[in-house]
A and B are shown apart, each in its own frame.
Chain A
């Protein structure tokens, strides 16, 4: 039986492979190819070599810092949002697994923001922010830091509920006898958290940090709707910067594509490193 499956493996896997090829591999490879071309529509290209890549950083013989700015701005944004989202959602998850009254209602309420689309959500928050900030003669795009914290608040509000659900599932999976044994051995709450709960939760933490990390790097909707990259292009995250290059600057489609390739390599490297780091900390009970 197993032998037969092995023999017909290519046939069974073929439909999926074809779909995967059409949906991912082909556009991906073609995308990398296009990053070395000058093109207006994707069927009309002209090979230009690495000039798209140099034009990301050098424009008219001068250093262009827009991309570098959005790179560190995005990195900072991701770092802050990963920290806040994970710490807060873990705390809420801990609180909501203690069996207090109304746990289900709380969980539902915290999860709800995640069901609203990013654009709609951001426009609603935009109104809220601006009507409050108007009292101080400021707006959400007054400086890049107002925009930064605005984005952080919106993204946290949206994602904390989602991560909370994953943490809740993880916490509930910790065997009760393990905790009981630790308690009998005289562990206090802090020791219980540090030596039992956290190590047992490492797989969950891997998933949650991975999700928040990549979500942070590729954030687009909220950026577009909440700040639009203003003031200037100072609050442009990477994804918006690429979009802007692609469609905003004449003849720069290739440069936008080159930025997208760099973006991919960067996100892939960080995601792999993060994955390796946190999986190495996982333990077996």
Chain B
């Protein structure tokens, strides 16, 4: 009997660990917070500086930071690739001003997890990244109104902010553009091949021409390889539907369809609306079909994660590749051993068959700085001063433009600090020609991970032949309404 009792106790103890293991991500930081909050409360009562109607968490911050006098800065960095640059920049700032700057970078794909855990701590981040309106909603209690700050004043395009709940919740720290990356050299050479459907790259001005070129290259790939000495396997790089690549289509390509729909509806182009009808889904389908049918990848295995579109384009195996200007660094980095060079790289709009004559590249960002409103006043002041220094000082501007390779949307980035990115150059050219930049309408996506997962699942089924296009429509249109409603409820 005793032995049985022991085994029951032991097995239930083990089962308890299951739950704590599961909920651990959220529960464990709390144990620490609980004990410290009690200690902090007494201090708060004495200082009684808290003027804002913030919760217990803010009171903790206040108490923790008050004795130090001056504030400190804690940046939770979003981009793993620029971790070292931010740390260097922080060190320089601390050396110059004596203000402490901490930088923590979340590992790829774990930003929201890390942010959730870090914000619950006493020493919470004072600067964090939010990507879209949904994130602004999630973190509404934590975003400081940035209107009237130097950061906002220096912003050259005031549309590059997230407005939520009557405040400027976040300000873009870079802007990006995406479209169809093409290999200039190969495409130029192709024009001279006998029977080419265009005589110059500039002839590609609409979807029909682009499609004709892609099909011609794909159908005569061996002939073209013989004539040009290239090693093409198809026209477009593979359209992988695995999680490392599917966002190019469920996010960026879908964004163009959403853009035109929002444009017709007259609503805010990046905030969107609750109901969509999928007006331009046929155009989406045409472009998608072109991607799949003019690439060498097997349409039945696109979801497997075995394709590497960047490598195919980089090694000159494909002429076209839908992606953004952030690919510039990877494509030209000598460590990657790619064959393409700066001169080969060009970007054209994703011609969608709607308003091709005026369509430019898709310009926007998913990288916005938000300042933690629950930090102490000293910390907020120190944080705003740090951000201003980053965008106005030589060290900061040099780091952002030349080391991180970003295109900053601030009026202080002139002369030596203008971007050298080939794709950004192309974007500037399109803008000078009077084309209209396509806004990043996909930033309006409600519950973005869930919505995209459903769209990708339907798109995968359609592409490998186990489903039909109607399911994609349903996931796209009905899924939007469902997720929008859920997001509204969660407010």
A-to-B contact residues, CB < 8 Å: 22-24, 26-28, 30-31, 34, 38, 40-44, 59-60, 126-127, 130-131, 133-134, 137-143, 210, 214, 217-218, 228-234, 239, 242, 244, 246-253, 257, 260-261, 263-264, 267-268, 271-272, 275-276, 279
Q: Bound complex: CA of A228 vs CA of B21, how far in Å?
A: 19
A42 in contact with B27 (CB, 8 Å): yes
Residue B228 lies at the interface, judged by CB distance under 8 Å to chain A: no
B303 in contact with A138 (CB, 8 Å): no
Q: What B residues does A141 contact at CB under 8 A?
A: 303-304
Cβ of A239 to closest chain B Cβ, rounded Å: 6
Q: Bound complex: CA of A233 vs CA of B460, how far in Å?
A: 13
A275 in contact with B303 (CB, 8 Å): no
Residue of A nearest to B489 (CB): A251
Q: Bound complex: CA of A142 vs CA of B57, how far in Å?
A: 46
B22 in contact with A28 (CB, 8 Å): no
Contact of B22 among A229, A242, A249 (CB under 8 A): A242
Known: A22-B31, A40-B116, A41-B119. A251 touches B26 (CB 8 A): no
A43 in contact with B487 (CB, 8 Å): no
Contact of A275 among B7, B26, B27 (CB under 8 A): B7
Beta-carbon contacts under 8 Å, B293-318 to A: 298, 300-301, 303-306
B447 in contact with A42 (CB, 8 Å): no
A218 in contact with B33 (CB, 8 Å): no
Cβ of A134 to closest chain B Cβ, rounded Å: 6
* Stretch from B399-407, B411-419, B424-432, B448-456 at the A interface: B448-456
Residue B55 lies at the interface, judged by CB distance under 8 Å to chain A: yes
Known: A268-B15, A275-B7. A44 touches B304 (CB 8 A): no
Q: Bound complex: CA of A204 vs CA of B253, how far in Å?
A: 56
Other 7 A-B pairs with CB < 8 A, given A130-B306, A134-B304, A247-B113: A26-B34, A44-B141, A249-B447, A249-B450, A261-B19, A275-B8, A279-B7
Residue of A nearest to B56 (CB): A43
B120 in contact with A26 (CB, 8 Å): no
Q: Bound complex: CA of A133 vs CA of B23, how far in Å?
A: 36
A264 in contact with B57 (CB, 8 Å): no
Number of interface residues of B (CB under 8 A): 65
Residue of A nearest to B29 (CB): A42
Residue B17 lies at the interface, judged by CB distance under 8 Å to chain A: yes
Contact of B138 among A28, A40, A246 (CB under 8 A): A40
Q: What B residues does A271 contact at CB under 8 A?
A: 11-12, 14-15
B33 in contact with A247 (CB, 8 Å): no
Residue B68 lies at the interface, judged by CB distance under 8 Å to chain A: no
B15 in contact with A264 (CB, 8 Å): yes
Known: A230-B457, A249-B447, A264-B22. A138 touches B300 (CB 8 A): yes
Contact of B26 among A42, A127, A239 (CB under 8 A): A42
A60 in contact with B485 (CB, 8 Å): yes
Residue B464 lies at the interface, judged by CB distance under 8 Å to chain A: yes
Q: Bound complex: CA of A27 vs CA of B14, how far in Å?
A: 15
Q: Bound complex: CA of A54 vs CA of B205, how far in Å?
A: 53
Q: Bound complex: CA of A10 vs CA of B373, how far in Å?
A: 46
Contact of B303 among A22, A231, A276 (CB under 8 A): A231
Contact of A42 among B4, B33, B461, B486 (CB under 8 A): B33
What are 25 of the A-B contact pairs (CB < 8 Å)? A22-B31, A24-B16, A26-B31, A28-B16, A28-B19, A28-B20, A30-B30, A34-B23, A34-B26, A34-B27, A40-B116, A44-B57, A133-B301, A138-B301, A210-B11, A214-B18, A230-B303, A247-B112, A247-B116, A257-B23, A260-B19, A264-B16, A268-B15, A276-B8, A279-B4
Contact of B491 among A133, A143, A210, A251 (CB under 8 A): A251
Residue of B nearest to A62 (CB): B482
Residue B93 lies at the interface, judged by CB distance under 8 Å to chain A: no
A253 in contact with B26 (CB, 8 Å): yes
Known: A60-B486, A250-B137, A275-B7. A218 touches B18 (CB 8 A): yes
Residue B24 lies at the interface, judged by CB distance under 8 Å to chain A: yes
